[in-house]
Amino acid sequence: MSWATRILKVGRIVQASPAAPARTVPSPTGTRASLQIRHVDAGSCNGCELELSGAFSSVYDAEQFGARLVASPRHADALVVTGVVTHNMRGPLIDTLAATPEPKLVIAMGDCACDGGMFRNGYGVAGAVGDFVPVDVELRGCPPTPDQIVETLRKVTGR
Protein backbone atom coordinates (compact mmCIF):
# COMPACT_ATOMS: atom_id res chain seq x y z
CA MET A 1 0.00 0.00 0.00
CA SER A 2 3.03 2.21 -0.10
CA TRP A 3 1.87 3.89 -3.32
CA ALA A 4 -1.44 4.77 -1.74
CA THR A 5 0.18 6.33 1.32
CA ARG A 6 2.60 8.13 -0.93
CA ILE A 7 -0.27 9.59 -2.93
CA LEU A 8 -1.91 10.67 0.30
CA LYS A 9 1.29 12.24 1.54
CA VAL A 10 2.06 14.13 -1.66
CA GLY A 11 -1.45 15.39 -1.99
CA ARG A 12 -2.60 17.45 -4.90
CA ILE A 13 0.17 18.50 -7.29
CA VAL A 14 -1.84 20.56 -9.73
CA GLN A 15 -2.08 24.06 -8.44
CA ALA A 16 -5.51 25.26 -7.59
CA SER A 17 -6.62 27.25 -10.58
CA PRO A 18 -7.50 30.85 -10.06
CA ALA A 19 -10.85 32.08 -11.24
CA ALA A 20 -11.24 32.18 -15.00
CA PRO A 21 -10.19 35.47 -16.58
CA ALA A 22 -12.62 37.27 -18.81
CA ARG A 23 -12.73 35.88 -22.31
CA THR A 24 -11.11 38.75 -24.19
CA VAL A 25 -10.08 36.98 -27.38
CA PRO A 26 -12.75 35.16 -29.37
CA SER A 27 -11.76 31.53 -29.97
CA PRO A 28 -10.90 31.02 -33.65
CA THR A 29 -13.18 28.02 -33.96
CA GLY A 30 -16.01 29.51 -31.98
CA THR A 31 -15.94 26.66 -29.51
CA ARG A 32 -15.33 26.85 -25.79
CA ALA A 33 -12.56 25.01 -23.95
CA SER A 34 -10.84 23.75 -27.08
CA LEU A 35 -7.71 25.24 -28.57
CA GLN A 36 -5.25 23.17 -30.58
CA ILE A 37 -1.86 24.83 -30.63
CA ARG A 38 1.19 24.35 -32.78
CA HIS A 39 4.29 25.87 -31.26
CA VAL A 40 6.86 27.52 -33.55
CA ASP A 41 10.28 28.48 -32.27
CA ALA A 42 11.26 31.32 -34.59
CA GLY A 43 14.62 31.97 -32.95
CA SER A 44 14.12 31.96 -29.21
CA CYS A 45 16.79 31.62 -26.51
CA ASN A 46 14.79 28.60 -25.28
CA GLY A 47 13.77 30.37 -22.09
CA CYS A 48 10.24 30.70 -23.43
CA GLU A 49 10.21 26.99 -24.35
CA LEU A 50 11.08 26.00 -20.79
CA GLU A 51 8.21 28.05 -19.44
CA LEU A 52 5.84 26.77 -22.11
CA SER A 53 6.62 23.19 -21.21
CA GLY A 54 6.15 24.20 -17.58
CA ALA A 55 2.71 25.53 -18.43
CA PHE A 56 1.75 22.21 -19.94
CA SER A 57 3.37 20.17 -17.16
CA SER A 58 1.40 18.40 -14.49
CA VAL A 59 1.85 21.33 -12.11
CA TYR A 60 0.21 24.09 -14.16
CA ASP A 61 -1.66 21.72 -16.47
CA ALA A 62 -2.88 24.04 -19.18
CA GLU A 63 -4.72 21.13 -20.77
CA GLN A 64 -7.41 21.23 -18.10
CA PHE A 65 -8.50 24.54 -19.63
CA GLY A 66 -8.82 23.07 -23.07
CA ALA A 67 -5.48 24.07 -24.61
CA ARG A 68 -3.49 21.30 -26.29
CA LEU A 69 -0.17 21.19 -28.10
CA VAL A 70 -0.42 19.33 -31.40
CA ALA A 71 2.25 17.98 -33.71
CA SER A 72 1.33 19.58 -37.01
CA PRO A 73 -0.08 22.93 -38.11
CA ARG A 74 -2.59 20.90 -40.12
CA HIS A 75 -4.20 19.97 -36.79
CA ALA A 76 -3.90 23.39 -35.20
CA ASP A 77 -6.26 26.30 -34.53
CA ALA A 78 -3.52 28.59 -33.29
CA LEU A 79 0.22 29.11 -33.51
CA VAL A 80 2.25 30.03 -30.45
CA VAL A 81 5.40 31.73 -31.76
CA THR A 82 8.32 32.21 -29.42
CA GLY A 83 11.50 34.17 -29.98
CA VAL A 84 12.58 36.83 -32.38
CA VAL A 85 12.23 35.92 -36.06
CA THR A 86 15.64 35.02 -37.46
CA HIS A 87 16.49 35.12 -41.14
CA ASN A 88 16.50 31.33 -41.31
CA MET A 89 13.12 30.92 -39.63
CA ARG A 90 11.30 33.61 -41.51
CA GLY A 91 10.25 31.37 -44.41
CA PRO A 92 9.29 28.39 -42.26
CA LEU A 93 7.19 30.65 -40.01
CA ILE A 94 5.25 32.02 -42.96
CA ASP A 95 4.89 28.49 -44.41
CA THR A 96 3.63 27.14 -41.10
CA LEU A 97 0.98 29.81 -40.87
CA ALA A 98 -0.03 29.08 -44.47
CA ALA A 99 -0.31 25.39 -43.58
CA THR A 100 -2.67 26.10 -40.68
CA PRO A 101 -6.31 25.87 -41.69
CA GLU A 102 -8.60 28.88 -41.37
CA PRO A 103 -9.86 30.26 -39.02
CA LYS A 104 -6.65 30.66 -37.05
CA LEU A 105 -4.95 32.71 -34.40
CA VAL A 106 -1.34 33.77 -33.83
CA ILE A 107 -0.11 34.17 -30.25
CA ALA A 108 3.25 35.91 -29.95
CA MET A 109 4.84 34.75 -26.72
CA GLY A 110 7.67 36.55 -24.96
CA ASP A 111 9.18 40.00 -25.41
CA CYS A 112 11.29 38.80 -28.34
CA ALA A 113 8.26 37.65 -30.27
CA CYS A 114 6.32 40.79 -29.50
CA ASP A 115 8.88 43.44 -30.41
CA GLY A 116 12.30 41.84 -30.79
CA GLY A 117 13.14 42.05 -27.09
CA MET A 118 16.78 41.90 -26.14
CA PHE A 119 17.80 40.55 -29.53
CA ARG A 120 16.35 43.37 -31.55
CA ASN A 121 18.77 44.56 -34.28
CA GLY A 122 20.94 41.51 -33.85
CA TYR A 123 22.86 40.50 -36.97
CA GLY A 124 20.84 37.35 -37.61
CA VAL A 125 17.48 38.89 -36.75
CA ALA A 126 14.86 39.66 -39.35
CA GLY A 127 12.34 41.29 -37.02
CA ALA A 128 9.51 40.65 -34.59
CA VAL A 129 6.73 38.18 -35.31
CA GLY A 130 4.29 40.98 -36.13
CA ASP A 131 6.56 42.11 -38.98
CA PHE A 132 5.83 38.95 -40.92
CA VAL A 133 2.54 37.45 -39.82
CA PRO A 134 -0.53 39.09 -38.26
CA VAL A 135 -0.42 38.73 -34.48
CA ASP A 136 -3.71 38.37 -32.58
CA VAL A 137 -2.52 37.99 -28.98
CA GLU A 138 0.63 39.36 -27.36
CA LEU A 139 2.03 37.75 -24.25
CA ARG A 140 4.74 39.89 -22.70
CA GLY A 141 7.51 38.76 -20.36
CA CYS A 142 11.09 37.59 -20.68
CA PRO A 143 10.17 34.86 -20.28
CA PRO A 144 6.52 34.94 -19.30
CA THR A 145 5.78 32.70 -16.30
CA PRO A 146 3.64 29.59 -16.64
CA ASP A 147 0.92 31.37 -14.70
CA GLN A 148 0.89 34.15 -17.26
CA ILE A 149 0.88 31.67 -20.12
CA VAL A 150 -2.02 29.73 -18.66
CA GLU A 151 -3.92 32.92 -18.01
CA THR A 152 -3.47 34.10 -21.60
CA LEU A 153 -4.56 30.76 -23.00
CA ARG A 154 -7.62 30.79 -20.74
CA LYS A 155 -8.56 34.15 -22.19
CA VAL A 156 -8.89 32.38 -25.53
CA THR A 157 -10.43 29.11 -24.40
CA GLY A 158 -12.81 30.87 -22.07
CA ARG A 159 -12.53 28.40 -19.24
Partner 1 sequence: MKRDPVASGTAVRSGTGVASGAPAVSGGVTAALGALGVVVGLRAVFGAPLHASIGWLVPFAGLRIDLDPLGGAFMALTGAVAAAVGVYAIGYARREHWARFPLVMLPVFVLTLLVVPAAGSVTTFLFGWEAMALTSLALVLTEHHRDEVRSAGLFYAVLTQIGFVAILVALVSLSSASGSGDFAGIRAAAGDLGPALRNGVFLLTVVGFGSKAGLLPLHAWLPRAHPEAPSPVSALMSAAMVNLGIYGIVRIDVQALGGGPRWWGTTLMVVGAASAVFGVLQASVSADLKRLLAYSTTENMGLIAMAIGASMLLGASGLASVAAIALTAALLHLVAHAAFKALGFLAAGSVLAGTGLRDLDRLGGLARRMPYTTVLFGIAALGATGLPLGAGFVGEWLLLQSLIHTPQGDNTLLSLVIPLSIGALALTTGLGIVAMVKAFGIGFLARPRSEGAEKAREASPTMLVGMALAALGCVVVAVAPAALGPALTRVASTLPSVGGDQGPKLGAILRLPGAAGSVSPAILAAAFAVAISLVLLLARWGVGARPAAVVRPLWAGGGPALTPRMQYTATSFAEPLQRVFDDVLRPDTDVAVTHVAESRYLIEKITFRTAQADAVEEHLYWPVVRAVAAVARGVRKAHTGSIHLYLLFGTIGLLVVIVVGR
**Using CB under 8 A as the criterion, which residues of the chain lie in contact with partner 1 when the complex forms?**
40, 72-74, 92, 95-96, 98-99, 102
User: Of the listed pieces 13-21, 65-73, 107-115, 149-157, which binds ligand SF4 according to CB under 6 A?
Assistant: 107-115
127 binds ligand SF4 (CB under 6 A): no
CA pseudo-torsion sign 100, 156, 116, 119: negative
Among 66, 73, 117, 158, binds ligand SF4 (CB under 6 A): 117
82 binds ligand SF4 (CB under 6 A): yes
Q: Is 99 helix (H, G, I), strand (E, B) or coil?
A: helix
27 binds ligand SF4 (CB under 6 A): no
Q: Which is nearer to partner 1, 43 or 144 (CB)?
A: 43
Count other C-beta atoms under 10 Å from residue 5's C-beta: 9
Using alpha carbons, select from 132, 126, 128, 44 the residue that is nearest to residue 86.
Answer: 126
Strands of the sheet with 137-139, listed across from one edge: 67-69, 35-41, 78-82, 105-109, 137-139
Q: Which is nearer to partner 1, 18 or 92 (CB)?
A: 92
Q: Which is nearer to partner 1, 93 or 128 (CB)?
A: 93
